[in-house]
Amino acid sequence: MTTPETPNGVVHRNIKTPQSEEISGPAGNRNNVSDEDLRQWQKHAQRVKEKVLEQVQVQLSDLLDQALTETVESFTQTQATFNGKTTNKSAPRSQRADDGKVFVARPSLLDELFEINHIRTIYHMFIAVLLMFCLSTLAVDYIDQGRIVLEFDLLFFAFGKLGTVVWAWAVMFFYTLLVPYLTLVIWGSLYHTCPSKLGLSLGTGLILSAVQTYVLGLFPIFVVIQYQLPPASRFIVILEQIRFLMKSYSFIRETGPVIMRNTPKEGESPRFPSLSSYLYFLFCPTLIYRESYPRNTHIRWKYVGITTGMIFGCLFYAYFILVRLCVPVFRPETKQPFSKRTMVLAVFHSILPGIMLLLLCFFAFLHCWLNLFGELLRFADRMFYKDWWNSTSFANYYRTWNVVVHDWLYQYGYRDFLWLSKRKFRTAAMLSVFIVSAVVHEYALAMGFGFFYPVMFFLFAIFGVVFNFAMNDKRQSPVFNVVMWASLFLGQGVQVCLYSQEWYAQIHCPRTENSFWEMVTPRSWSCSYQR
């Protein structure tokens, strides 16, 4: 097939438009009009394309979620093989897509990547850096004191008063195990026979909320402040407080609607989840309650031993980073006068220890700690994180950095907000999740360090929100991955620098009164000691 050639030699598509059929005149005019019509048609098509894409964005997302869930459901109905171990339980009704997250047997991403020699070499490089830190510390101690000093005074200080931590944790654990479960059983036994279901539910909810506030809300704070726990011990109590609150809420939130929907037959009692399933949930590495999860057939004790060793290795790694890279810079004995120059240099000096501490926290907790409990409990779904390091947008980074917490926030924050607003205020739902997450992060840091300095809150709730909308999922260029990493480097440097300065300011310039403003005003703003 050949294309006819126009009088001036330019080849055109055979496009018929109403305008071109009505135009008469010289051939040159027809060509000009045809070109103009083609450009107008292309612009119109582009506008229609953008409008259609905008209209179907939500529907397309729902269709993709549904297709993925159907695929997962069909997979979980067959025997799933994971690391040579077989599970033959199909996904229970409570794990269907319309009820939220679906659990599937799958390994952690780093466990798969460590099978590749090139990736495992990077892991070996980090081990080599740890050895260099150890040799550097030993060499400096030998030069300064004439002998090898193996003292971990900072480590022992940070984890002091563990006896208090143990009994406080035991109180929170037994309360979380018994009170929410018994409350659910009593409420469920009366719900279908009570004439005022709404009154019963509201009364039970208010009573449980009040007890939760005292035991899981105020009790941990009282222990941390009253017994003057050191930093690491504080973090253990506060993080366990948050974990028990999130787990108990998920248990009530998942089982309550099921009891309400399933009216028992006459003469039968309502069906409740077993206490053993709830006990398993309190220890398994997820924040979403299900009566059953994909399970492995046996425990790999070699994996347990290696993972435990990696946890202790990360602990000593963080110790050497603080001792060699942070303490010498921020301790007051350096006698460096404060100025803008020293502040800028301190921030950039803190970038290296900051990003190393970030990677250590990720590896030690999200990979090693959660996989350790997953292996001991034969919990098969090990997707605790995704490939956040490849993110080209902060929206994707927030979704993939900590999948365990993200699932809880998405399930009970974002989705419930959309349900209450009839899916009208997606931006408001996203912002509310960001604010709640930022407040909880800042609460944990404030209670852990023993002072209020909302650096994390401002970085998370303000800059994090801006970056989330500015660097969204449309950004796919590798350049934005560089921007994301650069932002993480700078943000970690700012946090390590400011929190370290405030830590020493709290020591050398203690509060003179207990007024509210005195407690919430950072001491480093007014402390006059010479850094």
pLDDT tens, 439-456?
A: 899 999 999 998 888 888
Report whether 338 contacts 473 (CB < 8 A): no
Query: Which one is predicted more confidently, 519 or 346?
Result: 346
Task: Report d(CA 168, CA 62) in Å as an integer.
Answer: 44
Question: Which among 246, 254, 256 is positioned nearest to 202, based on CA atoms?
Answer: 256
What's the whole-number mean pLDDT along residues 462-484?
76
Tokens read off for 391 = 């993110």
Percent of the chain with pLDDT over 90: 29
d(CA 9, CA 20): 19
Secondary structure of 260-273 in the HEC alphabet? HHCCCCCCCCCCCC
Least confident residue range of 177-181, 219-223, 401-405, 504-508: 504-508
User: Could you tell me if 159 and 229 are in contact, meaning their C-beta atoms sit under 8 angstroms apart?
Assistant: no
d(CA 340, CA 236): 36
Count Cα neighbours of 112 within 13 Å in the Cβ-side half-sphere.
Answer: 10
State mean pLDDT over 201-217.
92
The residue-averaged pLDDT of 198-225 equals 92
Please identify every residue annotated as catalytic: 441
- Residues 362-397 have pLDDT tens digits of 999 999 999 999 999 999 999 999 989 988 888 888
SS3 of residue 82 by DSSP: strand
Instruction: State the angle between helix axes of 478-508 and 340-349 in degrees (0 to 180), rounded to the nearest 10.
Output: 120
How far is residue 186's CA from residue 354's CA, in Å, rounded to a whole number? 49
pLDDT for the residue 7:
42
Phi, psi dihedrals of residue 30, rounded to the nearest 5°: -65, -40
Task: For residue 441, give the nearest of 411, 401, 481, 469 by alpha carbon.
Answer: 401
Stronger pLDDT, 201 or 268, i.e. the higher one: 201
Nearest 5°: the CA angle 187, 189, 192 is 95
The string of pLDDT tens digits covering residues 411-425 is: 898 888 888 887 788
Instruction: Give pLDDT, residue 152.
Output: 77
Residues in the chain, overall count:
531
Q: Is residue 14 scored above 80 in pLDDT? A: no
Rg, the chain, Cα only: 30
CB contact at 8 A, 36 and 17:
no
The H or E element spanning position 86 is strand 85-87
- Identify any residues that bridge with 106 across adjacent strands, giving them in sequence order: 381
For residues 217-221, average pLDDT: 93
Q: What is the rounded distance in angstroms from the CA atom of residue 114 to the CA atom of residue 135?
A: 27
As a whole number, the mean pLDDT across the chain is 80
Task: Kindly write down the DSSP assignment for every residue of 425-454, as one continuous string.
Answer: -HHHHHHHHHHHHHHHHHHHHHHHHTS--T
Nearest to 372 by CA among 308, 282, 309: 308
Please say whether the beta carbons of 397 and 355 come within 8 A. no
Q: Which residue has the higher pLDDT, 22 or 344?
A: 344
User: Which tokens belong to 300?
Assistant: 């790999």
Say how many C-beta atoms besides its own lie within 10 A of residue 3's C-beta: 9
**Predicted confidence (pLDDT) at residue 204 exceeds the cutoff of 70:** yes
CB-CB contact of 316 with 130 (8 Å): yes
The yes-or-no verdict on residue 280 having pLDDT over 80 is yes
Q: pLDDT value at position 306? A: 93
d(CA 425, CA 405): 22
Tell me the C-alpha to C-alpha distance, in Å, between residue 492 and each of 339, 466, 474, 499: 21, 17, 25, 11
Least confident of 167-176, 423-432, 512-521: 512-521
Distance CA 218, CA 158 (A): 23
How does pLDDT run across 94-143, given as a tens digit for each residue?
344 445 788 898 999 999 888 888 888 888 888 888 888 888 877 877 77
Question: What letter does residue 97 receive in the DSSP assignment?
Answer: G
Name the residue ranges covered by the structural domains of the chain: 117-151
Q: Whole-angstrom Cα distance, residue 25 to residue 337?
A: 84
Q: What is the Cα–Cα distance from 197 to 259, expressed in whole angstroms?
A: 12
The SS3 call for residue 298 is: coil
Lowest mean pLDDT of 48-52, 58-62, 161-165, name the range. 58-62
Amino acid at position 361, single letter: C
Nearest of 218, 223, 255, 252 to residue 237 by alpha carbon: 223
**What is the token pair recorded at 146?**
């004439």
